[in-house]
Structure 1
Amino acid sequence: MSFQRPIKNLDGLHDPSFLLPTMASPPAKRPRTENVLITCSDIWYRDGSVVLQAGDTQFRVHWTVLEQNSPFFRAMQGLPQPPDQPTVEGCPVVELPDDAEDVRYLLKALYSPTFLMQKTLPFPAVAALIRLGRKYDFREILDATVERVTFENPTTLEEFPSGKYNPTRIDYHPGLVFDMITLIRENNILSALPCAYYRAILFHSVNIIDGIPREDGTLAALASIDQRRCGLAREKLIKTQLKTGYTIGWLRDQGRADCTNTSSCDAKRTEILYHYLDILNLWALGRIAQATMGKSLCEACRKHAIESNESGRKKLWEELPSFFELPPWNELKNDL
């Protein structure tokens, strides 16, 4: 069974009739040469009832397994089949316009219950399960995989680690943050976007523009829309974090009434303020380190700094989506 209708966008498509050949014209033949080899994958069940083919790789599986997990394939199985449909060992061949490795990850999740139970999954597996889970309506697989992405990119400050980002549900690779943004945006996992964008702007501006090399020599690069959002947000956040009421706005609070050592505390705040102005680093959601304040701040000013820093972090988190031209947190709904 081959695809003969041009498919512009399969995202969210739940009508399996596009798998049928166009009957008004002779069935188109898939171009082949004698040098093209069809490879049987490691997913090949001798009692399988259907062969899925992605590229030049075939997978022999069971209609019942596909039907039980996907309304898309359930509806497709009941459609009339053309008389000249190709078969392998008596099984109909269904050609999928997807990457063979993506299909392999999908079938592995279907047939190996422990696969989705692993603490971490490689990013290519996560991306494949989300893309094909949406496309072919494998809802349980999709929900379980999206949960990994939203866990890594939370919607509350309490769940957001203020230190260095170390993924716990997805295997790390250089460029993971950028790759995650592309996956999130393209699949409408909107609730995860603000956190993912914030992690991206912690990189240098040159990385936002030029990308980050992966270990295999390819480049993890942001699309132009993501570059624009990140570039503008980084500039706005650096300015905002120093405003009164925000993360390090307490540095402007000179001459506090409850201060017990005005000259020393004012001098220390000025010193730290100039340090931030000189380096222009992003510290919008960072917690102030005790070492940063040193011993020059009196107890009252030290307490004020810690409390102001924490309230400023909360204020910035609440406003975080707006810096990336996104709706408020309560309006960022995942459209899966």
Structure 2
Amino acid sequence: MTSSSAKRQRTEDAPIARSEIWHDDGSLVLQAENTQFRVHWGVLSLNSPFFQNLKGLPQPPDQPSIEGCPVVELPDDAADVEYLLKALYIPTFLMQKKLPFPAAAALIRLGRKYDFKDVLNTTVERVTFENPATLEKYDALIVDRGRYGPRSILNYPGILYDMLSLAREHSIMSVLPCAYYRAILYQPTLIFDGTPRGDGTSTVLATIDQRRCVQGREKLIKAQFRVGYTHAWVRDRERLDCIDSEGCDTLRARLLDRFLDTLSLWALCGPTVELDTTVKQLCHSCATYARESMESGRKKIWDELPSFFDLPPWSELTNDL
């Protein structure tokens, strides 16, 4: 395989570095950018039909070699190739409780490109775990005062946007509704401005993701107060079984004003500590209704979540791997 002329020029201009992944008994040298890796045809062929077929192709007479090993140039980042080879050669690499996101992204990119199915599927499982397709699994990941923190991928500022971009770019469709929802829970300006990762780079959403986020957020803010949805109880002031209409109406009006003033998105929010404090101030009948409304309404929101982002229904969001 040959790289683009620009990348090949950079390779020719810079000295070649030997990676730590260099097996003296290897039968093949992979070169990505200016880094070489000595590995085994057998290991690559066992895990990838692509490399199995490549091994069987006749080598050109001018094929470069090192100590009798053919050099195969890959048009990929050297760091990505190193992550892939670590996954193949180091048994504990994929057993890490939390995998660095750059590693996960590399394994999905190269796993799809070169048909390393086991590596690909194992890594996709982490991304789908973090962005589940059921409300029960979504709730299970909310632990810190109603906040979410990744459990199988190392956390850092901007990871929500990075996971969203990765899932869309590689057609991991079941991830998208949850990923879009998480992406719009914070300051709307971040959707356009991006988020510094803390390493000198920033994560910025693509135009299609920005549009879906903005439109989805507006739709959800409006929907959360409609009849049958999460916070319909805030607007319902005609409850015949209310025993403190003046007090309950005042509390609901105050909370509605707060929603409208801040344009808060609590469409999937259940009775949090903060909300529950307000709910407890309602009369028993209104408090019961509020909790029931939140529980049934957030389930309705979840069932319809893909539609808010112009996606097909859950049943059609398959992962095209």
Q: TM-score, normalised by structure 1?
A: 0.89
In 2 relative to 1, CA 32–177 (structure 1 residues): closer, same or farther, beyond 3 Å?
A: closer
Q: In 1, are the aligned partners of 2:280 and 2:287 still within 8 Å (CA)?
A: no
CA drift at 1:32? 7.3
Q: Secondary structure at the match of 2:72?
A: strand
Q: Secondary structure at the match of 1:59?
A: strand
1:283 aligns with 2:282: no
Q: In 2, are the aligned partners of 1:153 and 1:195 still within 8 Å (CA)?
A: yes
Q: In 1, are the aligned partners of 2:11 and 2:33 still within 8 Å (CA)?
A: no
CA drift at 1:294? 4.1
Aligned ranges for residues 110-259 of structure 1 at < 5 Å? 110-161=88-139, 162=142, 163-259=146-242
Letter of the structure 1 residue corresponding to residue 279 of structure 2 = M
Letter of the structure 1 residue corresponding to residue 33 of structure 2 = G
Aligned length: 311
CA distance in 2, matches of 1:292, 1:206: 29
CA distance in 1, matches of 2:56, 2:78: 25
In structure 2, the partner of 1:87 is 65
CA distance in 2, matches of 1:329, 1:145: 21
CA drift at 1:293? 2.0
Moved over 3 A (4+): 30-35
In structure 2, the partner of 1:41 is 19
CA drift at 1:244? 1.5
Q: TM-score, normalised by structure 2?
A: 0.94
Letter of the structure 1 residue corresponding to residue 14 of structure 2 = V
Q: Secondary structure at the match of 1:81?
A: coil
1:271 aligns with 2:249: no
CA drift at 1:34? 7.8
CA distance in 2, matches of 1:97, 1:221: 24
CA distance in 2, matches of 1:142, 1:164: 28
CA drift at 1:301? 1.0
CA distance in 2, matches of 1:34, 1:111: 28
1:3 aligns with 2:7: no
CA drift at 1:36? 2.3
1:62 aligns with 2:40: yes
Instruction: String of CA shifts for 1:241-276, please: whole Å, max 9, x gaps.
Output: 111111111111213122222222222212211221
In structure 2, the partner of 1:327 is 312
Instruction: String of CA shifts for 1:99-148, please: whole Å, max 9, x gaps.
Output: 00000000000001111111110000000000000000000000000000
Instruction: String of CA shifts for 1:271-308, please: whole Å, max 9, x gaps.
Output: 2112211211111101133112242x111111110011
Residue 296 of structure 2, aligned match among 286, 290, 311 = 311
Q: Secondary structure at the match of 1:116?
A: helix
Q: In 2, are the aligned partners of 1:233 and 1:324 still within 8 Å (CA)?
A: yes
Letter of the structure 2 residue corresponding to residue 270 of structure 1 = A
Q: Secondary structure at the match of 2:149?
A: coil
CA distance in 2, matches of 1:307, 1:153: 26
CA distance in 1, matches of 2:105, 2:11: 32
CA distance in 2, matches of 1:98, 1:202: 34
Higher helix share: 2
Letter of the structure 1 residue corresponding to residue 163 of structure 2 = M
Q: Percent identity?
A: 62
Letter of the structure 2 residue corresponding to residue 292 of structure 1 = T
Instruction: String of CA shifts for 1:13-60, please: whole Å, max 9, x gaps.
Output: xxxxxxxxxxxxxxxxx5478862111100000100000000110000
Instruction: String of CA shifts for 1:175-219, please: whole Å, max 9, x gaps.
Output: 101111110011000000010000011121110011011111211
Q: In 2, are the aligned partners of 1:255 and 1:266 still within 8 Å (CA)?
A: no
Letter of the structure 1 residue corresponding to residue 215 of structure 2 = L
CA distance in 1, matches of 2:81, 2:38: 12
Q: Secondary structure at the match of 2:315?
A: helix
